[in-house]
Amino acid sequence: MTETWTAKKWQEVKQAYLTEYKSRKIQLVCKRLFDISIACIAIIILLPVLFVIALAVRVSSPGAILFCQERLGMLGEPFVIYKFRTMVDGAIYIGAGLNTFKGDPRITPIGKFLREYHFDELPQLFNVLRGDMSLVGPRPLLTSTLLTYSNCQKRRLLMPPGLTAWEAVNGGLENDLDERLKLDVWYVDNWNFWLDIVILLRTIPVVLRKEGIYEQR
């Protein structure tokens, strides 16, 4: 049975994290240094691409260039995630709301292309640089989902959220939420630096094959 989150219970989970952190400290420091290095290099190389995409989003439909939304970070701390806007302005208030599906009429033409190749996620490199996210980790979900987590599922918050994830290279949004959370917990429990490298390498063919982009309607 899913147990409702309370501050006291979450403090217990945080305490468990501190214990695990001590045993993984060197690896986690290496992970952070790797994140900063790759994010800096990627941002510098991709600056012209980011500019072109921003311009395309701006002129293709009215609305903001970036889609900003509060998500759950490590230990349940909220942060604002950045994405290029791929849907019409105010899309969360019409149609399927927060859910998207293949053929969703709210997705703009340029947005369809950005989603298919995950270009809409590129602004999250700045989230990585800020320390909100990592290159690899459980994908950051809406803050409202915390209230539905079981004690086991809360373990996904013991690692920083990622630009790509173990669940993303194993079906992504084609899996239901419970399966994705299960894969996230597996990642947390089995994490090491080399697993991150494997996930990053597996992300390339997943992106090229356009897998796991949309939820099942």
Checking if the pLDDT of 6 tops 80, the result is no
In a domain, 111, yes or no: yes
Instruction: Let me know if residue 215 belongs to a domain.
Output: no
pLDDT surpasses 80 at 209: yes
Tens of pLDDT, residue by residue over 150-181, are: 888 888 988 999 999 999 999 988 888 899 99
Q: Is residue 107 part of a domain?
A: yes
For the chain, percent of residues with pLDDT exceeding 70: 87
Q: How many domains does the chain have?
A: 1
Q: Over range 100-104, report the average pLDDT.
A: 76
Model pLDDT, residue 8: 66
Q: Which residues pair with 67 in a beta bridge?
A: 83
Considering the domain boundaries, does residue 69 fall inside one?
yes
Whether residue 133 lies inside any domain: the answer is yes
Query: Which run of H or of E encompasses 84?
Result: strand 78-84
pLDDT of residue 3: 46
Q: Identify which has the larger pLDDT, 103 or 3.
A: 103
Q: Would you say residue 193 lies in a domain?
A: yes
Is residue 115 in a domain?
A: yes
Has residue 217 been placed in a domain?
no
63: alpha, beta or left? (left if phi > 0; alpha if psi -120 to 50): left
DSSP one-letter code for 107: B
| Whole-prediction pTM | 0.87
Containing structural domain, residue 36? 30-208
What local confidence, expressed as pLDDT, does residue 105 receive?
84
What phi, psi does 175 have (nearest 5°)? -90, 155
